[in-house]
Structure 1
Amino acid sequence: MSNKNIRILVPLAEGFEEIEALAPVDLFRRAGFTVVLAGVGATEITGGHGITVACDTVIEDVGIDFDAMVLPGGGLGSKNLAGSWEVNEKMLMIANTGKVIAAICAAPAVVLGPAGLLEGHQAVCFPGAESNTPDFDFGTERVCVDGNIITARAAGCAIEFALAIIQKLTDGEISRKIGKSILAQD
Protein backbone atom coordinates (compact mmCIF):
# COMPACT_ATOMS: atom_id res chain seq x y z
CA MET A 1 0.00 0.00 0.00
CA SER A 2 1.49 3.36 -0.98
CA ASN A 3 1.22 6.12 1.58
CA LYS A 4 -1.15 8.14 -0.65
CA ASN A 5 -3.59 5.27 -0.27
CA ILE A 6 -3.64 5.72 3.50
CA ARG A 7 -6.62 7.96 4.19
CA ILE A 8 -7.24 9.80 7.45
CA LEU A 9 -10.40 11.66 8.42
CA VAL A 10 -9.98 14.58 10.83
CA PRO A 11 -13.28 16.20 11.83
CA LEU A 12 -13.04 19.73 13.16
CA ALA A 13 -15.70 21.34 15.34
CA GLU A 14 -15.86 24.88 16.70
CA GLY A 15 -13.49 25.25 19.65
CA PHE A 16 -11.06 22.47 18.63
CA GLU A 17 -7.54 22.62 20.07
CA GLU A 18 -5.40 23.83 17.16
CA ILE A 19 -2.15 22.07 18.10
CA GLU A 20 -3.96 18.74 18.55
CA ALA A 21 -5.46 19.00 15.06
CA LEU A 22 -2.83 20.75 12.98
CA ALA A 23 0.39 19.16 14.27
CA PRO A 24 -0.90 15.64 13.44
CA VAL A 25 -2.26 16.78 10.06
CA ASP A 26 1.15 18.24 9.23
CA LEU A 27 2.92 15.00 10.14
CA PHE A 28 0.37 12.84 8.30
CA ARG A 29 0.98 14.87 5.15
CA ARG A 30 4.76 14.59 5.64
CA ALA A 31 4.18 10.82 5.73
CA GLY A 32 2.40 11.10 2.38
CA PHE A 33 -1.05 10.23 3.72
CA THR A 34 -4.24 11.63 2.23
CA VAL A 35 -5.87 13.71 4.96
CA VAL A 36 -9.45 14.96 4.76
CA LEU A 37 -10.39 17.81 7.09
CA ALA A 38 -14.17 17.71 7.56
CA GLY A 39 -15.90 20.58 9.28
CA VAL A 40 -18.86 20.03 11.57
CA GLY A 41 -21.57 22.32 10.20
CA ALA A 42 -19.31 24.47 7.99
CA THR A 43 -16.15 24.39 5.90
CA GLU A 44 -14.46 27.10 7.99
CA ILE A 45 -14.01 26.14 11.63
CA THR A 46 -12.46 28.31 14.34
CA GLY A 47 -10.39 26.69 17.05
CA GLY A 48 -10.32 27.53 20.72
CA HIS A 49 -7.51 30.07 20.24
CA GLY A 50 -9.05 31.95 17.33
CA ILE A 51 -7.33 30.19 14.42
CA THR A 52 -9.78 29.56 11.58
CA VAL A 53 -9.12 26.54 9.37
CA ALA A 54 -10.53 26.00 5.91
CA CYS A 55 -11.71 22.38 5.76
CA ASP A 56 -11.81 20.25 2.63
CA THR A 57 -15.48 19.44 3.10
CA VAL A 58 -18.19 19.06 5.72
CA ILE A 59 -18.60 15.89 7.77
CA GLU A 60 -22.01 15.19 6.23
CA ASP A 61 -20.40 14.78 2.78
CA VAL A 62 -17.72 12.20 3.62
CA GLY A 63 -18.06 8.45 3.63
CA ILE A 64 -16.27 5.94 5.81
CA ASP A 65 -13.52 4.79 3.44
CA PHE A 66 -10.72 5.77 5.80
CA ASP A 67 -7.86 3.94 7.50
CA ALA A 68 -8.15 6.16 10.56
CA MET A 69 -10.31 8.84 12.15
CA VAL A 70 -8.46 11.31 14.36
CA LEU A 71 -10.40 13.42 16.85
CA PRO A 72 -8.69 16.53 18.19
CA GLY A 73 -9.64 17.71 21.64
CA GLY A 74 -10.25 21.01 23.27
CA GLY A 75 -13.08 21.32 25.78
CA LEU A 76 -15.59 22.98 23.48
CA GLY A 77 -14.31 21.20 20.37
CA SER A 78 -14.73 17.78 22.00
CA LYS A 79 -18.26 18.62 23.17
CA ASN A 80 -19.16 19.77 19.67
CA LEU A 81 -17.73 16.58 18.13
CA ALA A 82 -19.67 14.47 20.64
CA GLY A 83 -22.83 16.42 19.85
CA SER A 84 -22.57 15.73 16.12
CA TRP A 85 -24.65 12.80 14.96
CA GLU A 86 -22.57 12.61 11.75
CA VAL A 87 -19.28 12.45 13.64
CA ASN A 88 -20.57 9.68 15.90
CA GLU A 89 -22.08 7.71 13.03
CA LYS A 90 -18.89 7.81 10.95
CA MET A 91 -16.68 7.12 13.99
CA LEU A 92 -18.66 4.00 14.93
CA MET A 93 -18.80 2.76 11.34
CA ILE A 94 -15.05 3.26 10.87
CA ALA A 95 -14.35 1.56 14.22
CA ASN A 96 -16.60 -1.36 13.27
CA THR A 97 -14.46 -1.99 10.18
CA GLY A 98 -11.42 -2.45 12.44
CA LYS A 99 -9.76 0.80 11.42
CA VAL A 100 -7.86 3.13 13.75
CA ILE A 101 -9.77 5.55 15.96
CA ALA A 102 -7.53 8.11 17.66
CA ALA A 103 -8.43 10.90 20.08
CA ILE A 104 -6.44 13.39 22.13
CA CYS A 105 -7.01 15.55 25.21
CA ALA A 106 -10.68 15.68 26.24
CA ALA A 107 -11.89 13.76 23.15
CA PRO A 108 -11.19 10.25 24.54
CA ALA A 109 -13.42 10.93 27.57
CA VAL A 110 -15.98 13.21 25.90
CA VAL A 111 -16.36 11.46 22.52
CA LEU A 112 -14.97 7.89 22.61
CA GLY A 113 -16.09 6.91 26.12
CA PRO A 114 -19.77 7.83 25.80
CA ALA A 115 -19.85 6.13 22.37
CA GLY A 116 -18.70 2.86 23.98
CA LEU A 117 -15.41 2.69 22.08
CA LEU A 118 -13.20 2.48 25.16
CA GLU A 119 -14.83 -0.67 26.51
CA GLY A 120 -12.18 -3.39 26.79
CA HIS A 121 -9.37 -0.94 26.01
CA GLN A 122 -6.82 1.14 27.86
CA ALA A 123 -6.85 4.87 27.21
CA VAL A 124 -5.67 8.23 28.49
CA CYS A 125 -7.28 11.67 28.45
CA PHE A 126 -6.76 15.21 29.66
CA PRO A 127 -6.64 15.28 33.48
CA GLY A 128 -10.07 16.34 34.71
CA ALA A 129 -11.97 15.15 31.64
CA GLU A 130 -12.39 11.68 33.16
CA SER A 131 -15.74 12.67 34.66
CA ASN A 132 -17.27 12.46 31.17
CA THR A 133 -16.73 8.68 31.26
CA PRO A 134 -17.07 7.96 34.98
CA ASP A 135 -17.00 4.15 34.78
CA PHE A 136 -13.65 4.03 32.97
CA ASP A 137 -10.21 3.99 34.58
CA PHE A 138 -7.97 6.24 32.45
CA GLY A 139 -4.21 5.75 32.53
CA THR A 140 -1.56 8.43 32.91
CA GLU A 141 0.82 7.75 29.99
CA ARG A 142 1.31 10.54 27.46
CA VAL A 143 0.15 8.35 24.58
CA CYS A 144 -1.65 5.02 24.79
CA VAL A 145 -1.91 2.56 21.90
CA ASP A 146 -4.31 -0.32 22.57
CA GLY A 147 -5.22 -2.24 19.46
CA ASN A 148 -6.89 0.15 17.05
CA ILE A 149 -7.60 2.76 19.73
CA ILE A 150 -4.93 5.45 20.15
CA THR A 151 -5.30 8.18 22.76
CA ALA A 152 -3.16 10.98 24.14
CA ARG A 153 -3.40 13.33 27.11
CA ALA A 154 -2.92 16.89 25.87
CA ALA A 155 -1.67 19.35 23.25
CA GLY A 156 1.91 18.80 24.41
CA CYS A 157 1.60 15.17 23.30
CA ALA A 158 0.41 15.98 19.76
CA ILE A 159 3.69 15.06 18.03
CA GLU A 160 4.04 11.74 19.89
CA PHE A 161 0.34 11.06 19.22
CA ALA A 162 0.74 11.66 15.48
CA LEU A 163 3.90 9.55 15.29
CA ALA A 164 2.11 6.68 17.08
CA ILE A 165 -0.70 6.85 14.51
CA ILE A 166 1.79 6.90 11.63
CA GLN A 167 3.61 3.93 13.13
CA LYS A 168 0.33 2.02 13.50
CA LEU A 169 -0.61 2.66 9.87
CA THR A 170 2.82 1.86 8.36
CA ASP A 171 5.79 -0.35 9.04
CA GLY A 172 7.17 2.16 11.54
CA GLU A 173 10.14 3.29 9.47
CA ILE A 174 8.27 6.36 8.22
CA SER A 175 7.40 7.32 11.79
CA ARG A 176 11.07 7.00 12.80
CA LYS A 177 12.24 9.10 9.82
CA ILE A 178 9.72 11.87 10.45
CA GLY A 179 10.42 11.85 14.18
CA LYS A 180 14.14 12.08 13.52
CA SER A 181 13.73 14.94 11.03
CA ILE A 182 11.48 17.12 13.19
CA LEU A 183 13.47 16.52 16.36
CA ALA A 184 16.77 17.33 14.55
CA GLN A 185 18.44 14.15 15.75
CA ASP A 186 21.32 12.40 13.99
Structure 2
Amino acid sequence: MSKSVLVPLATGFEEIEAISIIDTLRRAGANVTIASINQDLIVTSAHHVKIIADSLLKDVSTDSFDMIALPGGYDGAMSLAKEELPQQVIKEFHQKGKFVSAICAAPIALHSAGVLKGIEFTCYPGMEGLMPGGIYIDDQNVVVSGKVITSRGPATALAFGLTLVEQLFSLDKAKELAAGMLKSCC
Protein backbone atom coordinates (compact mmCIF):
# COMPACT_ATOMS: atom_id res chain seq x y z
CA MET A 1 0.00 0.00 0.00
CA SER A 2 1.36 3.39 -0.99
CA LYS A 3 2.10 5.94 1.71
CA SER A 4 0.71 9.47 1.39
CA VAL A 5 2.07 12.68 2.90
CA LEU A 6 0.47 16.12 3.11
CA VAL A 7 2.84 19.12 2.97
CA PRO A 8 0.97 22.37 3.67
CA LEU A 9 2.69 25.55 2.50
CA ALA A 10 2.10 29.07 3.77
CA THR A 11 3.62 32.28 2.43
CA GLY A 12 7.09 32.63 3.94
CA PHE A 13 7.93 28.91 4.07
CA GLU A 14 11.60 27.84 4.05
CA GLU A 15 12.24 26.46 0.58
CA ILE A 16 15.19 24.19 1.43
CA GLU A 17 13.07 22.46 4.05
CA ALA A 18 9.98 22.13 1.87
CA ILE A 19 11.83 20.78 -1.16
CA SER A 20 13.95 18.40 0.95
CA ILE A 21 10.80 16.95 2.50
CA ILE A 22 8.94 16.67 -0.80
CA ASP A 23 11.87 15.33 -2.82
CA THR A 24 13.08 12.78 -0.27
CA LEU A 25 9.61 11.37 0.35
CA ARG A 26 8.84 11.16 -3.39
CA ARG A 27 12.16 9.36 -4.00
CA ALA A 28 11.02 6.83 -1.39
CA GLY A 29 7.78 6.27 -3.28
CA ALA A 30 5.41 8.32 -1.16
CA ASN A 31 2.52 10.16 -2.74
CA VAL A 32 3.20 13.73 -1.61
CA THR A 33 0.53 16.41 -1.93
CA ILE A 34 1.62 20.04 -1.64
CA ALA A 35 -1.32 22.06 -0.32
CA SER A 36 -1.44 25.85 -0.19
CA ILE A 37 -3.08 27.27 2.91
CA ASN A 38 -3.61 30.48 0.92
CA GLN A 39 -6.40 31.20 -1.56
CA ASP A 40 -4.03 30.66 -4.49
CA LEU A 41 -1.98 27.67 -5.66
CA ILE A 42 1.14 29.81 -6.00
CA VAL A 43 2.94 30.11 -2.67
CA THR A 44 5.93 32.43 -2.19
CA SER A 45 8.77 31.27 0.06
CA ALA A 46 10.83 33.24 2.57
CA HIS A 47 13.38 33.97 -0.16
CA HIS A 48 10.86 34.77 -2.91
CA VAL A 49 10.83 31.38 -4.64
CA LYS A 50 7.37 30.57 -5.95
CA ILE A 51 6.04 27.02 -5.70
CA ILE A 52 2.85 25.86 -7.38
CA ALA A 53 0.91 23.68 -4.95
CA ASP A 54 -1.03 20.63 -6.08
CA SER A 55 -4.19 21.86 -4.37
CA LEU A 56 -5.59 24.23 -1.79
CA LEU A 57 -5.63 22.87 1.76
CA LYS A 58 -9.34 23.66 2.02
CA ASP A 59 -10.00 21.23 -0.86
CA VAL A 60 -7.98 18.31 0.56
CA SER A 61 -9.55 15.35 2.34
CA THR A 62 -7.07 14.32 5.01
CA ASP A 63 -8.44 10.78 5.48
CA SER A 64 -6.11 9.17 2.93
CA PHE A 65 -2.87 10.64 4.34
CA ASP A 66 -0.44 8.84 6.65
CA MET A 67 1.65 11.88 7.61
CA ILE A 68 1.67 15.66 7.67
CA ALA A 69 5.05 17.38 7.25
CA LEU A 70 5.43 21.08 8.00
CA PRO A 71 8.36 23.06 6.60
CA GLY A 72 9.58 26.00 8.64
CA GLY A 73 10.34 29.56 7.73
CA TYR A 74 9.22 31.97 10.44
CA ASP A 75 6.36 33.68 8.59
CA GLY A 76 5.06 30.43 7.13
CA ALA A 77 5.26 28.67 10.48
CA MET A 78 3.39 31.48 12.22
CA SER A 79 0.61 31.23 9.63
CA LEU A 80 0.40 27.46 10.22
CA ALA A 81 0.23 28.17 13.97
CA LYS A 82 -2.39 30.90 13.84
CA GLU A 83 -4.77 30.02 11.02
CA GLU A 84 -7.76 27.86 11.82
CA LEU A 85 -7.66 25.36 8.94
CA PRO A 86 -4.04 24.21 9.31
CA GLN A 87 -4.56 23.95 13.06
CA GLN A 88 -7.67 21.84 12.54
CA VAL A 89 -5.78 19.54 10.14
CA ILE A 90 -2.79 19.13 12.50
CA LYS A 91 -5.11 18.27 15.40
CA GLU A 92 -6.98 15.77 13.23
CA PHE A 93 -3.77 13.97 12.22
CA HIS A 94 -2.59 13.84 15.81
CA GLN A 95 -5.93 12.65 17.22
CA LYS A 96 -6.06 9.87 14.62
CA GLY A 97 -2.57 8.67 15.58
CA LYS A 98 -1.00 9.64 12.27
CA PHE A 99 2.54 10.96 11.88
CA VAL A 100 2.88 14.68 12.61
CA SER A 101 6.20 16.31 11.71
CA ALA A 102 7.72 19.79 11.60
CA ILE A 103 11.11 21.40 11.07
CA CYS A 104 12.75 24.70 12.07
CA ALA A 105 10.12 27.19 13.26
CA ALA A 106 7.18 24.95 12.30
CA PRO A 107 7.02 23.07 15.62
CA ILE A 108 5.27 26.25 16.82
CA ALA A 109 2.28 25.05 14.77
CA LEU A 110 2.42 21.71 16.56
CA HIS A 111 2.56 23.53 19.89
CA SER A 112 -0.47 25.65 18.96
CA ALA A 113 -2.35 22.45 18.13
CA GLY A 114 -1.46 20.93 21.53
CA VAL A 115 0.74 18.23 20.01
CA LEU A 116 3.99 18.98 21.89
CA LYS A 117 2.59 18.88 25.42
CA GLY A 118 4.81 16.62 27.52
CA ILE A 119 6.87 15.19 24.66
CA GLU A 120 10.43 15.65 23.43
CA PHE A 121 10.94 17.94 20.45
CA THR A 122 13.51 20.14 18.78
CA CYS A 123 13.26 23.29 16.69
CA TYR A 124 15.25 26.24 15.43
CA PRO A 125 17.33 27.48 18.38
CA GLY A 126 15.61 30.35 20.16
CA MET A 127 12.09 29.27 19.16
CA GLU A 128 11.78 26.80 22.05
CA GLY A 129 10.77 29.59 24.45
CA LEU A 130 7.55 30.00 22.46
CA MET A 131 6.63 26.36 23.11
CA PRO A 132 6.26 25.76 26.85
CA GLY A 133 4.96 22.39 27.93
CA GLY A 134 7.16 20.31 25.65
CA ILE A 135 10.58 18.87 26.48
CA TYR A 136 13.11 20.72 24.33
CA ILE A 137 16.10 18.69 23.12
CA ASP A 138 18.93 20.94 21.95
CA ASP A 139 21.61 18.39 21.04
CA GLN A 140 19.86 16.33 18.34
CA ASN A 141 19.16 17.41 14.76
CA VAL A 142 16.04 15.25 14.54
CA VAL A 143 13.89 14.08 17.45
CA VAL A 144 11.35 11.27 17.16
CA SER A 145 8.76 11.09 19.96
CA GLY A 146 6.34 8.35 18.98
CA LYS A 147 4.46 9.67 15.94
CA VAL A 148 5.80 13.23 16.37
CA ILE A 149 8.99 14.07 14.46
CA THR A 150 10.78 17.43 14.70
CA SER A 151 14.01 18.91 13.38
CA ARG A 152 16.17 22.02 13.84
CA GLY A 153 16.50 23.91 10.55
CA PRO A 154 17.66 24.19 6.93
CA ALA A 155 20.97 22.35 7.43
CA THR A 156 19.09 19.39 8.98
CA ALA A 157 16.46 19.19 6.24
CA LEU A 158 17.89 16.14 4.45
CA ALA A 159 18.36 14.25 7.74
CA PHE A 160 14.77 15.18 8.60
CA GLY A 161 13.51 13.93 5.23
CA LEU A 162 15.39 10.65 5.62
CA THR A 163 13.97 10.24 9.14
CA LEU A 164 10.47 10.73 7.74
CA VAL A 165 11.23 7.97 5.21
CA GLU A 166 12.54 5.73 7.99
CA GLN A 167 9.41 6.27 10.11
CA LEU A 168 6.95 5.95 7.22
CA PHE A 169 8.66 3.09 5.36
CA SER A 170 11.73 1.52 7.02
CA LEU A 171 15.32 2.08 8.09
CA ASP A 172 16.47 0.02 5.11
CA LYS A 173 14.58 2.32 2.72
CA ALA A 174 16.11 5.40 4.35
CA LYS A 175 19.61 3.89 4.12
CA GLU A 176 19.05 2.99 0.46
CA LEU A 177 17.98 6.54 -0.34
CA ALA A 178 20.83 8.05 1.66
CA ALA A 179 23.39 5.95 -0.20
CA GLY A 180 21.97 7.08 -3.55
CA MET A 181 22.13 10.69 -2.40
CA LEU A 182 25.73 10.26 -1.17
CA LYS A 183 24.70 11.00 2.42
CA SER A 184 25.59 9.00 5.48
CA CYS A 185 22.40 8.06 7.20
CA CYS A 186 20.54 7.00 10.21
Distance in 1, Cα, partners of 2:170 & 2:81: 32
- Residue of structure 2 aligned with 1:26, choices 6, 23, 26: 23
Aligned to 1:44: 42
Q: Secondary structure at the match of 2:124?
A: coil
- Residue of structure 2 aligned with 1:17, choices 4, 8, 14: 14
Structure 1 unaligned segments of length 5 or more: list them.
none
Distance in 1, Cα, partners of 2:165 & 2:24: 8
Identity fraction in percent: 35
TM, length-normalised to structure 1? 0.93
The reply on whether 1:119 has 2:117 as its aligned counterpart is yes
TM, length-normalised to structure 2? 0.93
By how many angstroms is 1:63 displaced?
Answer: 1.3
Q: Deviations over 1:112-137 (max 9, x none)?
A: 11221012310001011112213433
The 5 A counterparts of 1:73-84 are 73-84=72-83
Q: Deviations over 1:50-103 (max 9, x none)?
A: 100000001101111210000010111101111221111111111111110000
Q: CA RMSD in A?
A: 1.2
Structure 1 segments of 4+ aligned residues over 2 angstroms from their partners: 134-137
Q: Secondary structure at the match of 1:117?
A: coil
The reply on whether 1:8 has 2:5 as its aligned counterpart is yes
Is contact 2:8-2:57 (8 Å) kept? Answer: yes
Distance in 1, Cα, partners of 2:59 & 2:86: 11
Question: Per the alignment, do residues 138 and 171 of structure 1 end up closer, same or farther by CA in structure 2, a change over 3 Å counting?
Answer: same
Distance in 1, Cα, partners of 2:89 & 2:71: 15
Task: Give the letter for the 1:174 counterpart.
Answer: K
Aligned to 2:97: 98
The 5 A counterparts of 1:44-83 are 44-64=42-62, 65-83=64-82
By how many angstroms is 1:184 displaced?
Answer: 6.0
Task: Give the letter for the 1:131 counterpart.
Answer: G
Aligned to 2:134: 136
Distance in 2, Cα, partners of 1:178 & 1:86: 33
Is contact 1:114-1:132 (8 Å) kept? Answer: no
Question: Per the alignment, do residues 120 and 184 of structure 1 end up closer, same or farther by CA in structure 2, a change over 3 Å counting?
Answer: closer
The reply on whether 1:35 has 2:32 as its aligned counterpart is yes
Q: Secondary structure at the match of 1:157?
A: helix
Distance in 2, Cα, partners of 1:114 & 1:83: 8
